[in-house]
Amino acid sequence: MAQHIARSVRDALLRGTWVIDLDGVVWLAGVPIPGSGEAVNRLKDAGIGVLFATNNAEPTREELLGRLVHAGIRVEVDDLVSSAQAAAAMLAPGSTALAYAGPGVPQALAERAVDIVREAPADAVVIGWARQFDFDLLSDAMAAVRGGARLIGTNEDPTHPTPDRLLPGTGALLAAVATASERVPEVAGKPHRAMMELIKARATDISVVVGDRPTTDGVLAKQLDVPYALVLSGVTSTDAVIGGSSPDLQHGNLAELVTAVLDG
Ligand SMILES: [Mg+2]
């Protein structure tokens, strides 16, 4: 459902930096959503800044940049922040961590000079999205947390959108470890503080947050005190806008949003 955009809102969105989510906005499991790449380039051509902010900690930075290029987007390394980086920022250089996550997390931890260990004890257990998750992993993670390690989730998204169906998200994996550990986890990604601080460090002139999940992207927008633009190309469908912050703008996908803003 396209929506008329008030003049004052539109004027604000024609300046500054857009914080744009990736999964469900630019792509689904890496497969570009039609028109999204062109839409991002139209923003850049109009002089609008773009910062991609993803809760998906599984890919490496190079993989994420490669997917953006594959979507036809001109991008530089500083145009991207992930919950893997946010999780790493919560740990002091020189500390130790057990990482149960895809390759993006060990990369971010290594860049933070966090020592990745294979067995407890460790200062922290970091849970991120990965397709490998079994009883032994759960047992080891639980034991490390019960032994004193901090329990850090890269994010707590309950699901992960793909072109075919929803898959379990990091939040589902984190909940298993938290339950077994009887511990409330710390969470790094949107809308939590570590990710918000990374975003604010990269962009001081944020004008909107665009994302498919109101409970993460919408709440982040509210905390940044900027409008939230919901797109319905990911986990949220037209007839099921559930939880989180109600959107200021709502469009079918990124291309429709960008057209509405740029072409008024
Ligand atoms: Mg998303």
pLDDT in tens, the chain (264 residues): 456 788 888 999 999 999 999 999 999 998 999 999 999 999 999 999 999 999 999 999 999 999 999 999 999 999 999 999 999 999 999 999 999 999 999 999 999 999 999 999 999 999 999 999 999 999 999 999 999 999 999 999 999 888 899 999 999 999 999 999 999 999 999 999 999 999 999 999 999 999 999 999 999 999 999 999 999 999 887 555 555 558 999 999 999 999 999 998
Whether 195 contacts 176, CB under 8 Å: no
* Token code pair at residue 185: 């986890």
248: closest CA among 200, 192, 209, 215? 209
pLDDT recorded at residue 212 = 95
Beta bridge partners of 18: 50, 208
Q: Which domains does the chain have, with CATH numbers?
A: 7-83+191-262 (3.40.50.1000), 85-187 (3.40.50.1000)
CA of 80 to the centre of ligand 1 (A): 14
Asked whether the beta carbons of 192 and 79 are under 8 A apart, the reply is: no
**Residue 28 CA to ligand 1 centre (angstroms):** 9
Q: What is the pLDDT of residue 127?
A: 98
Rounded Cα gap, residues 157 and 172, in angstroms? 8
Point out the residues that are catalytic: 21, 23
**Contact criterion met (CB below 8 Å) for 109 and 126:** yes
The confidence score (pLDDT) of residue 237 equals: 74
Distance 5 CA to ligand 1 centre (A): 22
Give the Å distance between the CA of 152 and the centre of ligand 1: 20
The encoded tokens of residue 177 equal 């470890």
Kindly report the pTM of this predicted structure.
0.94
CA 95 to ligand 1 center in whole angstroms: 30
For residue 155, how far is its CA from the centre of ligand 1 (angstroms)? 12
What phi-psi label fits residue 245: left (phi over 0), alpha (psi between -120 and 50 degrees) or beta?
A: beta
Rounded distance from Cα 211 to ligand 1 centre (Å) = 6
Per-residue pLDDT at 239: 53
In 3D space, the residue among 208, 246, 241, 201 whose CA is nearest the CA of residue 225 turns out to be 208
Determine the pLDDT at residue 25: 97
C-alpha 53 to ligand 1 mean position (Å):
9
- What's the CA gap between 234 and 77, in Å, rounded? 24
Query: How high is the pLDDT of residue 163?
Result: 84
- Measured in Å, residue 98 CA sits from the centre of ligand 1 at 26
